[in-house]
Structure 1
């Protein structure tokens, strides 16, 4: 097609706004509707459901979302691409065919490799951990799910064969955009720059309203954020794009809301995808009208020879409750609680007790004097936690512990342990996969691995030698002049920090060194930290290796997946030149 393809997102994760597909159908004209439901932990939950009932394992409420629109989808010639297939894309495709026999439903297979792990081991594939390099057989946990990240060519092949709806499992999030764009424009497997542009656009829209002002540091400047809309990517034949939204919906699309998504959950300037390596440091953003941001200059190179495999296994069990301590003497009260709760623990129980926040110095209300205390217990087996009986243990402290001890009477203390799922991000050669598109008439299309691959190391950016010379400064929160966005990649958290103009960029890049980050965030002072710069985005980006343990599903941190690290950093006080503060006002 000569014109750009318009791809509208309608889901950013399993649990996103239920009415989003209704809104997309009622919004501006588009060519493709793309729904992303999977996070790393989501597949593990769906896998457990699939193991209990082989007819399940997909996102069942997607059927309820799409059912009212199946006639209109056919009438308008719309295409729908989704990874709601989860652990059982064939099952979701079959359910859709029952609801919509007039539509051509295809699905993509090959990501679910848990049954092939023995085969891979016999072939010499060690499924090395992406972070540590250790082989999978050293993990000590029995895998319950293993899903390889597939690219977008299975989606493109199904669309080329006339599919109206393509159901996927664990394709990369950006593949839901790159696959349709490649089909629409007829790209070849080695159109690196065009593919890279589509992957970048897909990365921006994959998380739904985040590109339209949701979860955005500058949310106070976004008009009508009550119900932010979902984004649209208009992708041209050369891979350049415009990010926009439905005109009738709330929120805003700005250079900063798009930047926020670009620096979200990446490992550096090289964004690795099964179809292409994206060079994010060549990318340029520019306002192109109201709620329109142009994305140009993205370059690409061959993908790596391996893809990631998300392997999950049950590490044990956890149980969590929250109780409250009230000023004064909160530190001493928490210390006594820790000692009392930890007394005579059953063997094998790990206890984590974390006070959340600080009481006001001179509280005006009781709640300003109140500090929540999170009590988490973990064990490899369920029995020690049952023996611990955390609810009973906490409930026995009312007359023998700290003054003012209480829990929220709006709900009972939790007594039932929950599974604790560990995560192993493995590497596997793409040549070992059986990537297929399965059409509605039963035909199967084999998707060959990329013919050309290349290893692309992240660039090395030297630390700033010294902070830039400035005139008068004031100590204010970093967030006064900078935005930030953070997220998770397995056991690592990333955080990108950026500013709005070149003068502030000169100050930010010279000030926000790795050493300064360690000073600002004591929690990361002993971690390996990787720092990169994105001059075109005026951003400094950090990967905090191991902050989240081995993954968000198993660590005992309160902010399990690092979503608040960026805002925490923005709350820290730094010396900012007064001239920049004048611009920020």
Structure 2
């Protein structure tokens, strides 16, 4: 198709229908064939990909600087290689952040591929997120404010300021989260493929919709809607059946080898979340609500281009695999953006040992006492940054096998000096024949050998100080590649975030009004999704709508169950449900989303420093929601019976899940 004809077709399409934006990746591990799937299995206008978890860039930063790593994500390149001819044939535009530490390098590699195949495609790359030079010398320049510095109630984790206070913690990477402005400019200048580094996860979707509708940068409601559309599809299959709390009510064969989500974004920013009919997966109100609640910051979702106000969100199932999302409001973005700083923090090691059956609690008491005695005798017990003895699991009563009777002790250690870790490991030999009955190991002790790790400091950085651009590559007749650079500017207006909302329900119902209760697991009547935001965890709970066992929204039980959930699930209640995992060093914020019958919490500090520096077994809080759904609480009998549960003698019969 000739260039003029192509542009005419795009102009006509943009006036007639919503833009279809498909996702091909939510992490660097997603294989390249997902990009090909999205291109070949149906019609889409854009394919976007998020290849970066918070630590990705840092993992490869030093190797890239030493010439031992290309700096970009191999799976992004693999996807483009597999898909390039289809992109040219269908004129699908691609926007990915797979450039990671070296978007220019990946763009040049893609340009070479295009030239070799003589395809009519243009490539550009985004610069400006890499702030390593600006912050590498924190000892003299100081440390930017912590991401949670505006919340006086939050206590940052121990060792959070080691980067500043100790001289042996060099910065390895520092990347600001960019918005969509560079993406929009690249599309306006004719780019078909845009390679970015650390743009925010949803920014490629915002950029695609912004360009399609030629929004102004002050069309905040529309931009906010696109931000949430991007949030809903950014995580691979999380909106099409993966990481879904209600998975057990569906055939297990439907829950893997999934195709990923597609957002059909309307001119006003509302959207329909869907997927290609081919291959497996499903999109329902419940999968969409789960993904909406994932990694939220409360009722305000921030991006460099817009602030999304989420209180009035609505989600409604239409046809099969088509769910409409609307009700998002927008406001100007904050004057700062998130800056992810990673630094060499020291050394980690962990030891895992097993115990079986009788007297397990006493066995762990003995082993911890013995190890601490040995560390004290070596003079290193107080030399650890972190030393935790984590007891994992409880033996099954009257066990039906040895495996059902076996649990773990995980000894996790972080230090600045690897010799301290080695001192811990040496005790395994010293006390090898002084142990409790039945002591055995899961594997060899390679994990006990100290390994260097990088830790995370989430910061704030002024948007006005960013120096951003999009750079368009074009091959001349001689084969030489010419680069045109287009500098970009920050948003024209900002709005301070202000204090985050946090409240208990404003008109609680008397819990006794819901009738008799039975002891049951919380998850028998609610679904949940949890995730991480640095050192904080977020957890959202909601009344399911589209599970096979759900009572329909037209049932009186549906509204009643929401009134019970919002009245029952208070901040003190959550603290109580967290049990021994709660610490007064944590801080909780709570909000509600009545349009989707959800209660949402942010638990500050529960993940320590977060990411690779966290000592938690579940360092990304992905299992926190399912853990809390397994806690036994008093549930009104009417809701249990409404979902097909049999209640006997004041408790759910059998205690099994639906």
State the TM-score bracket (shorter-chain normalisation).
Answer: over 0.9
Cα offset for 1:270?
0.8
Counterpart residue number, 1:290: 320
Query: In structure 2, which of residues 41, 56, 59 is the aligned counterpart of residue 27 of structure 1?
Result: 41
8 Å CA contact 1:59–1:86 kept in 2: the answer is yes
* Distance of 2:529 and 2:593 partners within structure 1: 14
Partner residue in 2 for 1:575: 634
SS of the counterpart of 1:274?
Answer: coil
Structure 1 residue 376: Cα displacement: 1.7
Give the structure 2 partner of residue 437 of structure 1: 470
| Deviation at residue 125 of structure 1 after TM alignment | 8.7
Work out which of the residue numbers 522, 534, 559 in structure 1 matches 2:618: 559
> Residue in 1 aligned with 2:553?
none
* Residue 489 (structure 2) aligned to one of 448, 456, 465: 448
CA deviations on 1:110-139 (whole Å, 9 max, x unpaired) are 0000102279999x9962001245997845
Residues 1:428 and 2:461 are matched in the alignment: yes
Residue 239 in 1 paired to residue 269 in 2?
yes
Contact 1:398–1:405 (CA<8 Å) still a contact in 2? no
Gaps of at least 5 residues in structure 1 are none
2:87 to 34, 57, 73: 73
Deviations 1:389-416 (A, max 9, x none): x2x543565532122211235x564353
Match of 2:503 among 461, 476, 480: 461
1:266 aligned to 2:266? no
With over 3 angstroms needed to count, the CA separation of the structure-2 counterparts of 1:55 and 1:13, relative to structure 1, is closer
CA contact (8 A) 2:418 2:450 kept: yes
**Are 1:524 and 2:582 counterparts?**
yes
Q: Quick one: distance in 2 between partners of 1:415 and 1:398? A: 14
402, 406, 419: which is aligned to 1:383? 419
Which portions of structure 1, spanning 4 or more consecutive aligned residues, are displaced by more than 6 angstroms?
118-122, 134-137
Residues 327-348 of structure 1 deviation map (CA, whole Å, 9 limit, x = unaligned): 1111111122223333433532
Q: In the alignment, what sits opposite 1:514?
A: 571
Per-residue Cα deviation, 1:138-175 (whole angstroms, up to 9, x for no partner): 45443221100100111111111111211111111010
- Classify 1:396/1:455 alpha carbon distance in 2 versus 1 (closer, same or farther; 3 Å): same
What CA deviation, in whole Å up to 9, does each residue of 1:456-478 have, x standing for no partner? 33334335667533211111000
Alignment partners' CA distance in 1, 2:348 and 2:419: 11
TM superposition shift of 1:251: 1.7
Residue 350 of structure 2 corresponds to 320
Moved more, 167-176 or 226-235: 226-235
Is the 2:503–2:589 contact (alpha carbons within 8 Å) kept by the matching residues of 1? no
Contact 1:222-1:252 at 8 Å conserved across structures? no
Q: CA deviation at 1:62?
A: 2.3
Q: Distance in 1 between matches of 2:633 and 2:583?
A: 17
User: Structure 2 matches for 1:61-460, cutoff 5 A?
Assistant: 61-101=75-115, 102=119, 103-117=121-135, 127-132=144-149, 138=164, 140=166, 141-223=169-251, 224-345=254-375, 347=380, 348-349=383-384, 350-388=386-424, 390=425, 393-394=427-428, 397-409=431-443, 413-440=446-473, 441-457=482-498, 458-460=500-502
Superposition deviation, residue 28 in structure 1:
1.6
Deviations 1:412-471 (A, max 9, x none): 643532223221111111000011111113111111101111123333433566753321
Partner in structure 1 of residue 5 of structure 2: none
Q: CA shift at 1:54, angstroms?
A: 7.1
The answer on whether the counterparts of 1:342 and 1:351 sit within 8 Å (CA) in structure 2 is no
- Distance in 2 (CA, whole Å) between partners of 1:221 and 1:466 is 30
Give the length in aligned residue pairs.
Answer: 581
Partners of 1:52 and 1:383 in 2: how far apart? 27
C-alpha separation between the residues in 1 aligned to 2:260 and 2:142? 40
Larger mean Cα displacement after TM superposition, 560-569 or 394-403: 394-403
What is the deviation of 1:213? 1.3
Q: Which moved more, 1:497-506 or 1:221-230?
A: 221-230
Gap runs ≥5 in structure 2: 1-13, 151-155, 474-481, 545-557, 645-658
**Aligned residue for 2:25?**
11
Q: Kindly tell me: are residues 467 and 108 of structure 1, through their superposed partners in 2, closer, same or farther at Cα, counting changes over 3 Å?
A: farther
2:449 is paired with a residue of what secondary structure?
Answer: coil
Q: Secondary structure in 1 aligned to 2:148?
A: coil
Cα RMSD (Å): 2.2
Counterparts of 2:256 and 2:92 in 1: how far apart (Å)? 28
Q: How does the TM-score come out when normalised to structure 1?
A: 0.95
- Going from structure 1 to structure 2, the CA distance change for 1:435 and 1:394 (only over 3 Å counts) comes to same
Which residue number in structure 2 is paired with residue 43 of structure 1? 57
Matched-pair contact (CA < 8 Å) for 1:46–1:86: no
Whether contact under 8 Å (1:492, 1:547) holds in the other structure is yes
CA contact (8 A) 2:32 2:80 kept: no
CA contact (8 A) 1:222 1:251 kept: no
Largest Rg, 1 or 2: 2
CA distance in 2, matches of 1:239, 1:486: 25
Q: Secondary structure at the match of 1:318?
A: strand
Residue matched to 2:535: 491
Greater alpha carbon shift after TM alignment, 514-523 vs 62-71: 62-71
Q: Do the aligned residues in 1 keep the contact of 2:135 with 2:143 (CA within 8 Å)?
A: no
Q: Which moved more, 1:111-120 or 1:418-427?
A: 111-120
For the Cα contact (< 8 Å) 2:63–2:69, is it kept in 1?
no
Distance 1:233 1:158 in 2: 21
**Distance of 2:40 and 2:429 partners within structure 1:** 51
Which range moved further: 445-454 or 127-136? Answer: 127-136
Residues 41-84 of structure 1, C-alpha deviations (whole Å, 9 max, x = no match): 22221223223327622112322232122122112111111111
8 Å CA contact 1:467–1:511 kept in 2: the answer is no
